Structure 1
């Protein structure tokens, strides 16, 4: 039986030449780190080291650190990526050489409507946008915006009171997700929704759709393996983000802006209004220097959109982890309660000034952000060949800093898995190297919304702890001293991650996939002589089914793999006892 197709010699020559070129294309960049003497895991053609992410990229980073030290090289597809955990190199990348060499993040050409957002913009455009937006996040502007956040803190308390009357225990993500969504949409462009009581509101529906997009869709895989296709797809207006959700928010923002231009502003302060005012204030300025011009209409829409996208899930996840740690550390919670009752006795209304006086709350939030940093990695693109502390970084390399792993380095953090807010007391804080603690990044391109994020977290915590305490229940998943069951959305965690209760389900799925793969191979063998393309296609499918994890989500955010179930018990006395 002839298993090979009857092709002519010329066809075979072309086919073999094509395969050879394909192999060269898929492996050509993989000698970069070997030449430089930088250790790292062995890459596979086209995929590089990305299949290691099936363990979760936070776990992968930690494993690489333990095996290779403070500097190692990996490959995201064909893209060389240098991971660093040396504080001196981190300082140079994020601060010293920011403007000259490491100005930009990884290119994100298929960003669609948010291509002009501050987190994606590059070089001079980024500098201009940052300059225009920085006054929006000053203490004075946040103080003006505080009543909006405070209002939704009160709504949060009312919703929890209703929920606590019905359920003995519930997922804290339900309440914090609603609070986060309400604050983000209201402070971004003035839309008032009570998302917990209005789950079918269009803003709620489209927001949830937006944050559930999947980086491992066919478009992402295609551009990942064949990056030269990215400019072509960008010209075709292809984007990773769901078009209907993006269009909804863009239409909404445009309409809100048009309405405000028709009617006089009535004193409400939100980010959209502040950006419009900044645009108006610079519209009559000197137009010769472009770096001082205000935002364009498209840029305003992009910033409003990214505020929503970046602020929703990060806030709700951080509050979930904080609630869990307080419930499992009642001594810490008690200290926090005493401080709140001292600064705000008898459930006094929240004020901006009071939020700045809660020192132990600051320590607690700092420790939460150490254990559970908002994002998985910090990234910078290298614009020229450079040597830092004896490490050569070639032009075009992406430099990553993994805060999750850095924050757990025992060299800088004794007993790193322990939840201990006292690490950030005034006495201890002075001894912390600022480049070993990076929940919001560092340098000129750090998170511009850091103060706003912390204020939003504080209001939620204080408002709830004035009325409730967090307690564990039988449904609470208690973490071990070394690990809490989390997944990174986009990191590729398996459902059997850390021996969770879904291990049996995961085993059956694996068996099903392997059985399916075996059938594919047998079927391919029968029809190989009929179609060589079918053979290649099926082999690729088999390979992907066996290697790509089952749980590929989005964004690279640290997210609880299981719902965090807690009880919120009403407090009876909040008056501070006399000394």
Structure 2
């Protein structure tokens, strides 16, 4: 084929050239959004956006982007636009004042029908119904009833560490904390004794670890990033099928036992069962007004899927946070001594009770500082149903609004010398100097982490038990600073090995 009278190209070559030019223009068009809106950000790579930057890890990338471009940064995951917002006033506007518009988490693909029943991913009135039904599990009265079970798990944690440290070897606190939190979530939420701490290859822990390895970062998701129209055709699973099937079978067995037995349960599963309606209804009923939802009660799929969500989420995030807390104790001996002194003054050598936890003010400041540096999630997200303007910034609908917690919690404007570990940042005097939403480790607004109160009680109870029995120190294998995994959760890539020293009982 003669091109402009100068070059004679075969037809197939010209076709390829036209396709490549078309694809390039297609990519340029998708990547023009933030430039047109005047929002700063890095120059995207055609079709990839900023994905190659994530080789260094999501947390480090967010920190780099915020430090370079400011508190509002426009980026692209492939061709999917994402707005990073770390301005506390904008966070308040979006997550609280405009919550009716930003009710939902952005999901840029078709969910499998089971995922749609989880309180973490449900939308609009369906989410409101699930949230209002499940939330009473975490009232002060219900949490107090869980204390004996948590105390038993804490005692097992102490014995587990004693056994592992007998040989004089370092103890990987990440692994130890994982088995502990699995025991807690199984016993307090489902009345099941799984004994993870005494069984290194426990099936519950094995499947909980595997559950997070779904299809979120698989080939289908990357195709959607590059060609967003495919989101209407590809179904993606949040969690690995084999793991989800295991936990579903566990929940079904627990439900079956409750139907036969006479024991009274006051836990997460029982509350859902009490709200369940056994009459015939669609198992994929996720739309309707709030009154309609309340009239029908929970269906079987909602009971099972929220139970599975609690198994996985309650295990992993809390385990990571407790392990990081032990690391912070080991690398800050002055802080460790202050925590122990307060515990002795409040508990007098006895096991902590529910009422004691609220009196441990320094331990609370310590734990907040742990959460500042090592909040479980790197980002929290919302998606808008309509485009709105916030503080002079226009945000189109359906855009992923992501708050980069790792970067927000290290912003020197709010946190001088941000890498320094200092619990006194959380004295009442110092908190008054910061914007309210500069510290949001569990999220913010009506969709804040539903299990937050249980997680706080569980970790603080464990820390008291641990400090009553041990002191922590770095060992030859302890990384300072810790190398983090590169994904969306804050995890220690190589574990958290520490030296454990037994405390002498008076």
**In the alignment, what sits opposite 2:53?**
52
String of CA shifts for 1:392-415, please: whole Å, max 9, x gaps.
111221111111111111111111
Question: Which residue, 404, 413, 416 being the options, matches 2:415?
Answer: 413
Question: Which residue, 352, 361, 364 being the options, matches 2:363?
Answer: 361
Shift of 1:18: 4.1
Matches within 5 A, 1:446-525: 446-479=448-481, 484-488=482-486, 490=487
Matches within 5 A, 1:564-575: 564-573=496-505
CA RMSD of aligned residues (A): 2.4
**In the alignment, what sits opposite 1:221?**
222
Change (3 A) 1:78 1:303: same
**In the alignment, what sits opposite 2:312?**
309
In the alignment, the residues of structure 1 paired with residue 447 and residue 315 of structure 2 have an alpha-carbon distance, to the nearest angstrom, of 20
Question: Which residue, 428, 442, 448 being the options, matches 1:440?
Answer: 442
In the alignment, the residues of structure 1 paired with residue 216 and residue 124 of structure 2 have an alpha-carbon distance, to the nearest angstrom, of 25
**In the alignment, what sits opposite 2:273?**
276
Could you say what secondary structure the match of 2:177 adopts? helix
In the alignment, the residues of structure 2 paired with residue 436 and residue 305 of structure 1 have an alpha-carbon distance, to the nearest angstrom, of 32
Shift of 1:229: 2.8
In the alignment, the residues of structure 2 paired with residue 134 and residue 196 of structure 1 have an alpha-carbon distance, to the nearest angstrom, of 29
Change (3 A) 1:97 1:360: same
Bigger shift: residues 274-283 or 23-32: 274-283
In the alignment, the residues of structure 2 paired with residue 241 and residue 201 of structure 1 have an alpha-carbon distance, to the nearest angstrom, of 19
Change (3 A) 1:217 1:50: same
TM-score (ref. length: structure 1): 0.80
In the alignment, the residues of structure 1 paired with residue 215 and residue 182 of structure 2 have an alpha-carbon distance, to the nearest angstrom, of 20
**In the alignment, what sits opposite 1:97?**
98
**In the alignment, what sits opposite 2:342?**
339
Shift of 1:280: 6.0
Bigger shift: residues 213-222 or 464-473: 213-222
**In the alignment, what sits opposite 2:494?**
562
Which runs of 5 or more structure 2 residues have no equivalent in the other structure? 1-7, 281-288
Which runs of 5 or more structure 1 residues have no equivalent in the other structure? 1-5, 491-555, 575-579
In the alignment, the residues of structure 1 paired with residue 111 and residue 140 of structure 2 have an alpha-carbon distance, to the nearest angstrom, of 31
In the alignment, the residues of structure 1 paired with residue 20 and residue 478 of structure 2 have an alpha-carbon distance, to the nearest angstrom, of 53
In the alignment, the residues of structure 1 paired with residue 290 and residue 326 of structure 2 have an alpha-carbon distance, to the nearest angstrom, of 52
**In the alignment, what sits opposite 1:394?**
396
**In the alignment, what sits opposite 1:329?**
332
In the alignment, the residues of structure 2 paired with residue 358 and residue 324 of structure 1 have an alpha-carbon distance, to the nearest angstrom, of 20
In the alignment, the residues of structure 2 paired with residue 231 and residue 186 of structure 1 have an alpha-carbon distance, to the nearest angstrom, of 40
Question: Which residue, 248, 251, 254 being the options, matches 1:250?
Answer: 248
Could you say what secondary structure the match of 1:289 adopts? helix
String of CA shifts for 1:416-459, please: whole Å, max 9, x gaps.
11111111123333333221001011111111111111011111
- Conserved? CA contact 1:219–1:240, under 8 Å: no
- Conserved? CA contact 2:182–2:196, under 8 Å: yes
TM-score (ref. length: structure 2): 0.91
Change (3 A) 1:268 1:59: same
In the alignment, the residues of structure 2 paired with residue 39 and residue 251 of structure 1 have an alpha-carbon distance, to the nearest angstrom, of 49
String of CA shifts for 1:26-49, please: whole Å, max 9, x gaps.
332211111111110111222111
Shift of 1:271: 1.1
Shift of 1:282: 12
Shift of 1:567: 1.4
Change (3 A) 1:262 1:13: farther
In the alignment, the residues of structure 1 paired with residue 476 and residue 13 of structure 2 have an alpha-carbon distance, to the nearest angstrom, of 66
